[in-house]
Structure 1
């Protein structure tokens, strides 16, 4: 491999806590460890597709006197829309700008690129780099924690802390007013945030996209809380990707043409009230989960990932993603990562933990001999 002199780093997809800590680690290791020039590409892929190119040099002056390690967001900016292979133009047409990205890489005379992104961003960036035969190393980041090949992604720990803190705050008002408080959280098609924060925050009900549920199952848990435990309040956590009681996907259509998850908590609120008579209130955290000061865990993970990503380029390795496995940093082939989201599996130990604590986390069908089908009432996800 040719000697490395200049590398680029960019953040792509939704923002989350810990991105600046990654950028800092990449710059420190590249500049101080190897004497390279490190360029930060602005606004993800757009920085290399724009003309003139948009970037900044990352060095000691970039971080001097700034609490980058402690700040949320990304100093480089990011985008989570606009596929470079079919980029929307002002006149309504679409164009393939993938070669603009490749040419931008060469114009900056880069010898490698570090991409910080989720499963979708890594998939697109890998395709771009394959087209131009550009050396790329990926770093997983997403509050959803749904990137395959890694037990944890940058941003996830902070998001779970935010949700747990929200449950701590909601518990007091739930008890004061004898209500069921429903908290809707992010996660797309994965229930990691809801499951982990729900257990940590003492939820009575946790609904995730991967597990079927019934309204009667929720009502039974609330009745148990009232009649057996003698409590007049309850906490319910629902992931945004959970289906409505009608069985339909809970989505909202926006004027910009985007369709996003959201709103299932409001439907559940009405249904739970009608079945149990308990007064309900809904809180939707939304993008609060992405912001704020990164947790210790995210700062540590970001720092370890950034250093290892630079070291991989120095060793002539690319088309790989750094990952956290078995309490350590490793790296895995990107081809094993870019195959879809990592969701909660039926045998996840935390599902058993939740059940052991009496939390309703959906219905676990028990097939009877010869049929392979559950004896239980058909759940909403099966409708």
Structure 2
């Protein structure tokens, strides 16, 4: 060995995801084969200081955890260890915390510390490295938004969860001829929505990277109705911006480090129902995407990450993070890994494949002939607040006070979308112009089912 390593530490920080236990197991078993003891710190970085909380790890007490979701070491995304790196966006840790962590590592005789976490947790690890603490990083995020690695463990499991949900929503949507909106995780990047949308047969995918409009979404729904498809599946990432440029947020708790996203699915479903008069329902997967056993791919990748992290410690390559550069597991400096997010490129092969299938991203670009023209604006449903948009619920039987307004809005939406697709302007009274033959089905459906 390059170093006389006797003991190492490992911790899991930030949000949980499938595969964390596989990393722990991979690291422990690899370390044992090199005669190295392993200790695991409880609740992430908090276990390193005041009070120091850790447990010895070995092949016996990590047996059977490969298939388990979550983390046996517990985790937290709150507490004293909040850090950012970057020239214009740096947030330094308290020097007393850094000194405390260094003292813990020295007292326990740790030759290296494996930190498993996302961009925020890895920013902490980078500041450890700058302070002289021997640390290596393992990337963890179901969003798959770290630029230095092709994939992160947990992503494949999250996509599998969302895909299974779409499979189930497909049958109920078809049975009741409804619009089903599935909201998935993805703060800055829409990888989960994109991959699950393709794998689960989604019709519309809304992600943070591609600007979209309600007209684009409605036009896709009408196009499906034109060919007799009376239901539509919409997949939306929680971080996708509304056409007005806002993100939908929940009430922010004082101790939260980031604004808590969530609720865009309700906004999208509400607008669809108001504009087209179609029954729309919402499913928010939330933490279901983080829980449960990891997929085969995530088990293998996470195990490789754990084993490679131990190798980095043995070789004294501190300040590096393991990464997946297919087909190999390699490493890069931590600072390079967290300085740039991996986001969906508009012209990526995956997006191109989705468009080739006829999937809409709610924008003006489409592979379907009539949809190649820019979409024109249609009226908004209501002036509702972004954070408190009404839930998408079915209207009560019988006429209501809001029914006439909703009907007029639906007519206007149909007129504008239809006019755009046919290359004509709507008439002065808002009625749809003469439609081409291929729109006869949609027009007939409009008369018999909506108004």
Question: Shared fold (TM-score greater than 0.5)?
Answer: yes
Report the 3-state secondary structure (helix = DSSP H, G, I; strand = E; otherwise coil) of the residue aligned with 2:181: strand
Q: Output aligned runs, 1:88-237, within 5 Å.
A: 97-131=97-131, 133-228=132-227, 230-237=228-235
CA 316–208 in structure 1, closer or farther in 2 if over 3 Å, else same? same
The whole-number CA distance in structure 1 between the counterparts of 2:60 and 2:247 is: 48
Alpha-carbon deviation of 1:134?
A: 1.6
Distance, in Å, in 2 between the alignment partners of 1:98 and 1:134 is: 9
- Aligned counterparts of 2:310 and 2:145: Cα–Cα separation in 1: 23
Identify unmatched segments of 5+ residues in structure 2. Answer: 84-92, 367-372, 381-451
Alpha carbons of structure 1 residues 275 and 287: separation in structure 2 relative to 1, 3 Å: same
Structure of higher CA gyration radius: 2
Distance in 1 between residues matched to 2:57 and 2:189, nearest whole Å: 35
Mean CA deviation greater in 118-127 or 9-18: 118-127
CA contact (8 A) 1:365 1:376 kept: no
Is it true that 1:18 corresponds to 2:19 in the alignment?
yes
Root-mean-square deviation over aligned CA pairs: 2.2
Shift of 1:345: 1.7
Could you tell me how far apart the structure 1 residues matched to 2:223 and 2:276 are?
Answer: 11
Deviations 1:328-374 (A, max 9, x none): 211112121120421112222111011001011142679xxxxxxx9
- Matched residues in 1 for 2:134 and 2:364: separation? 45
More strand by share: 1
Which residue is equivalent to 1:323?
323
**Contact 1:245–1:267, Cα closer than 8 Å, also in 2:** no
CA-to-partner distance for each residue in 1:131-172, whole Å, 9 max, x for gaps?
1x1221111111100112111101111000000000001111
* Shift in Å, 1:19: 0.4
Instruction: Measure the CA separation in 1 of the matches of 2:287 and 2:107.
Output: 36
Number of equivalent positions: 360
Matched residues in 1 for 2:22 and 2:185: separation? 23
Q: Distance in 1 between matches of 2:160 and 2:17?
A: 13
Query: CA separation in 2, counterparts of 1:178 and 1:362?
Result: 21
Q: Deviations over 1:300-349 (max 9, x none)?
A: 00111111111111122121111111222111121211204211122221
- d(CA) in 1 for partners of 2:40 and 2:240? 37
* SS of 1:68 mapped into structure 2: coil
Distance 1:108 1:97 in 2: 17
Cross-structure match for 1:371:
none
TM-score of the superposed pair, with normalisation by structure 1: 0.89
| Cα contact 1:154–1:302 (8 A) shared by 2 | yes
Tell me the residue number matched to 1:240.
238
Residue 273 of structure 1, CA deviation: 1.2
| Separation in 1, partners of 2:286, 2:119 | 20
State the match for 1:78 in structure 2: 75
Q: Over residues 64-122 of structure 1, what are the superposed CA-to-partner deviations in whole Å (9 max), with x where a residue is unaligned?
A: 4xx20010000001111234368xxxxxxx96523222222222110001111111111
CA distance in 2, matches of 1:328, 1:197: 25
- Evaluate the alpha carbon distance shift between residue 112 and residue 257 of structure 1 in structure 2; reply closer, same or farther with a 3 A threshold: closer
CA distance change for structure 1 residues 112 and 253 in 2, over 3 Å: closer, same or farther? same
Instruction: Indicate the SS of the match to 1:183.
Output: strand
Alpha-carbon offset, residue 375 of structure 1: 6.8
Task: Please list, as runs of the form range in 1=range in 2, the aligned pairs for 1:225-374 lying within 5 A after superposition.
Answer: 225-228=224-227, 230-258=228-256, 259-363=259-363
**Relative to 1, partners in 2 of residues 1:271 and 1:85: Cα closer, same or farther, differing over 3 Å?**
closer
Distance 1:325 1:78 in 2: 27
Given that 2:3 and 2:314 are in contact with CA atoms closer than 8 Å, whether structure 1 keeps it comes out as no
Alignment TM-score, normalising by the size of structure 2 = 0.76
CA distance in 2, matches of 1:365, 1:333: 38
